[in-house]
Structure 1
Amino acid sequence: MSGPGIDYRAVFQALPGMVALLTPDLVYADANEDFLRHSHRTRDELIGRYLFDVFPDNPNDPTATGARNLQASLRRVLESGERDTMALQRYDVRSPEGPGEWEERYWSPINAPVSDADGRVVLLVHRVEEVTELIRARARVGDNRARVLEAELYTRSRELQEVNERLRQAHAREREVALALQDAMLPAPHLAGHHRAAVRYRPAVGALNVCGDWYDLVEVPDSRMVVAVGDVVGHGLAAACVMGQLRSALSAASRVAAGPAQALEVLDLYARAVDGAESTTAASVHVDWRSHTLTYSSAGHPPPALLRRDGTVAFLDRATDPPLAARPEHVPRPQASLAFAGGDRLVLYTDGLVERRGADIDTGLGRLARSLNVNRALEPDRLADALLLDLLPSAGATDDTALVVLRL
């Protein structure tokens, strides 16, 4: 038994309808009783075997596409981490009557991910409704109209599948354009503004949650430098366009503002006039090389981290305010200061580095602090790579990540 007195394996086996579990390699990990019964397969014929070795397309039918369509759906789930509902499929299966015999079958599948704590898809739930008898029952009515309706039902399902595929392709193209636009608007890593800095940008895996993050490094007079990161709510081309406007506005404001709080106040006023900028988060740190002081302010953003040479980590969390344009009225923003020593590291990042589904932000910040401590001797370039390796899921993050590491 598992959970509060519930035998979940028994529940899985008793589920009405066909349900199977697949590994990311599309190998059967388990199947319930309905799946075995309706597919005419034994457990030994399924478990541990590759899906399309068990259920290939009918070689006698040149129009058969069931296996290809199912494989495309499962790949989409693996890449996006999102559920995928397929249109009605004709997908014939080998008949138990003998070799070379095939049965005409119709299915309505839904494929869903099971993810671990890092957002990595570790299992696929393959749920299928058997609708062959429904199709055959319509044909048994015996009149031409029933056969016309049957053909129309199947044709419409195929058309829906094709429309969905075109939409997915259009979404993928939009993602490519948005990433290219974002790349064009962000400073190039080797021109990021300072030889002491390393910058990284990692887009989210799949089509969602991309192109809203930014970073910036700005040299200002009197031996000062401004480092900033931000995160726009939304994704795709719209988020990339808003990101470019806000990054440019903050960069300009930072050059003339008395400090980071004033720069974020200007950005807050500007965000109120930009569609899609509401609830954007941002953090800005002004580095004074002469006084060895960090002055910072945050608009709802995860706190920057100061890694000291002894490995201790201080989070810059004493000047945090709500995100941009979140308040009904504009009010002044707070700022705070912290001394640093030569050789310390300043780390700014977006939430994709530390936030994980099902875990609070403190857990992510703790993981960041431990990674910084372990890698404290590394120079910015190697430290940035080590942080991404330690903190991002191996299968890729489900949110953008921007990262700036600055040697002080």
Structure 2
Amino acid sequence: MSGPEIDYRAVFQALPGMVAVLTPELVYADANEDFVRNSGRSRAELIGRHVFEVFPDNPNDPTATGVQNLQASLHRVLATGERDTMALQRYDVESLVNPGEWEERFWSPINAPVLDAEGRVVLLVHRVEEVTELIRARRRVGGDRARVLEAELYTRSRELQEVNERLRQAHARERSVALALQDAMLPAPQLAAHHRAAVRYRPAVGTLNVCGDWYDLVELPGERMAVAVGDVVGHGLAAAGVMGQLRSALSAASHVAAGPAQALEVLGLYARAVEGAESATAVSVHVDWAAGTLRYSCAGHPPPALLRRDGSVTFLDQATDPPLGARPAHVPRPEAAQTFAPGDTLVLYTDGLIERRGEDIDTGLGRLAASLAVHGSLEPDQLADFLLLDLLPTAGATDDTALVVLRL
């Protein structure tokens, strides 16, 4: 039996406590009755205006940090897609009765994301609890002791904010170093002139969500090539180091292995000796232009896509196996073959291109197939760019993406 229809707008307006909804550009989209009443601003003064245009810092207080701290919190939510609880804030508000005069106010804010089906942050819920009266009551009742406690509380809050800012700066430095390392270890491939290929790497938007993904293209004797992509669990410099080791190991194994399955077997054995390589995924495809065949093997990785000249797409999913080092004992990996015709296109990618939070992987594969069907006639460089444009969230992905497009 279905329940009564709920008027969610009425629920939002009746919520106890101050709640506002912001766009990703930090513009007020809505505010409930408590927010309008307790902020001292009318709906007309809020809706459609930038949050810091309505509530700037007190210009008479050179130590004011309300705007800086709130802006940092909102940007963290936009970057990570995760809720952020702020420390107690002193954030003064200009008096409406006496313009130019600023009222001392204290707030406890929480900022949370509203995500769409693809995991993109489309709105921000900004909830604040005003604790000004509590602070004033402590002052009245407790006298000097209350003022001491208040000062300690405020000092601790400022210290927490400073620690968070130092952590953010440290994370940003690590991200910069990791990206530089990524660029050094993932150069553009130097292929023979008759091979048309494009490679792309897009880091995630978060400060540490970088450097787990990799790609590799290796020329083999006899009109053959080994193409691979992989994904290391974890982020940051540690993941970048592991990525470099696995990429180099697979490149070397591809030169001497009988095929992609054997190359991944060697890589799996090697991964057991590399700290941080547990459960890494990879897929390797050996292209034989003379025979017109693709031989492939997947270690816990999304299947490559083969785009035919007629626009149809075949996913190479007949040789799947667990991630590297996942089995306690060595077992030969499966290998399958697929024919291709000149002008077909091979696409390898990591899960950041297709997977979205709370969504079945088949939905992402369907989006990839649809995009390939629309743009498949383009040259690899253009096709790679359109795939990223079509499939990655506009607000930035929360996972790395590596992509290889090879015209066969």
TM-score by length of 1: 0.95
Counterpart residue identity of residue 379, structure 1: E
- Asked if the contact 1:192/1:199 (under 8 Å) is kept, the reply is no
The answer as to 2:184 corresponding to 1:189 is no
The 10-residue stretch of structure 1 (111-120 or 271-280) with the greater mean CA deviation from structure 2? 111-120
Deviation at 1:297, TM superposition (A): 0.3
Distance 1:193 1:6, change over 3 A: farther
Q: CA deviation at 1:190?
A: 4.8
Q: Which residue of 2 aligns with 1:265?
A: 265
Question: RMSD of the TM alignment (CA)?
Answer: 1.8
Q: CA deviation at 1:382?
A: 1.6
Runs of 5+ in structure 2 lacking a partner?
A: none
Task: State how far apart, in whole Å, the 2-side matches of 1:103 and 1:122 are.
Answer: 33
Alignment of 1:219-234 (within 5 A): 219-234=219-234
User: Which whole-Å CA distance do the structure 1 matches of 2:99 and 2:381 have between them?
Assistant: 61
CA distance in structure 2 between the partners assigned to 1:65 and 1:196 by the alignment: 53
Aligned to 1:324: 324
Per the alignment, residue 217 of structure 1 pairs with 217
How much has 1:242 moved relative to structure 2?
A: 0.7
8 Å contact kept, 2:171–2:208: no
> Do structure 1's residue 162 and structure 2's residue 162 form an aligned pair?
yes
In the TM superposition, residue 4 of structure 1 has moved relative to its aligned partner by 6.4
The one-letter code sitting in structure 1 at the alignment partner of 2:8 is: Y
Equivalent position SS for 1:189: coil
CA distance in 1, matches of 2:372, 2:63: 56
Contact 1:218–1:225 (8 Å) recurs in 2: yes
Which residue is equivalent to 2:130?
130
Q: How does 1:240-255 map to 2 (within 5 A)?
A: 240-255=240-255
One-letter code aligned to 2:188: P
CA distance 1:93–1:60, shift in 2 (3 Å): same
In structure 2, the partner of 1:383 is: 383
8 Å contact from structure 2 (residues 174, 208) kept in 1: no
- Percent sequence identity over aligned pairs: 83
Match of 1:256 in 2: 256
Query: Where do residues 9-408 of structure 1 align in structure 2 (5 Å cutoff)?
Result: 9-186=9-186, 188-191=187-190, 195-408=195-408
Question: Structure 2 counterpart of 1:371, which letter?
Answer: S
CA deviation map 1:101-148 (0-9, x unaligned): 321110111112212223322111111121112211221124322211
Residues 121-179 of structure 1, C-alpha deviations (whole Å, 9 max, x = no match): 21111111211122112211243222111111111111111110110110111111111
Q: Are the structure 2 counterparts of residues 198 and 66 from structure 1 closer, same or farther at C-alpha, using a change threshold of 3 Å? A: same
- Do the aligned partners of 2:191 and 2:219 also contact (CA within 8 Å) in 1? no
How many residues get paired? Answer: 406
How far is the alpha carbon of 1:389 from its aligned partner? 1.6
Deviations 1:303-336 (A, max 9, x none): 0011111111111000001111112222111000
Question: Quick one: distance in 2 between partners of 1:332 and 1:16?
Answer: 61
Amino acid at match of 2:206: G
8 Å CA contact retained: 2:189, 2:217 = no
The answer as to whether partners of 2:228 and 2:282 remain within 8 angstroms in 1 is: yes
Residues of 2 paired with 1:174 and 1:373: CA distance?
Answer: 39
Partner amino acid, structure 1, of 2:122: V
Q: 1:390: how far off? A: 1.6
Shift of the alpha carbon at 1:78? 2.2
Contact 1:192 1:216 in 2 (8 A): no
Residue 209 of structure 1, CA deviation: 2.6
Provide the rounded CA distance (Å) in 1 between the counterparts of 2:354 and 2:208: 18
Change (3 A) 1:239 1:143: same
Structure 1 residue ranges, 4+ long, deviating more than 6 angstroms after superposition: none
- C-alpha separation between the residues in 2 aligned to 1:266 and 1:204? 30
Q: Equivalent residue of 2:263, what SS? A: helix
The whole-number CA distance in structure 2 between the counterparts of 1:287 and 1:205 is 34
Residues of 2 paired with 1:193 and 1:261: CA distance?
Answer: 25
Moved more, 396-405 or 74-83: 74-83
Cα offsets for 1:228-253 (capped at 9, x unmatched): 00011111111111101111111111
State the secondary structure of the residue aligned to 2:302: coil
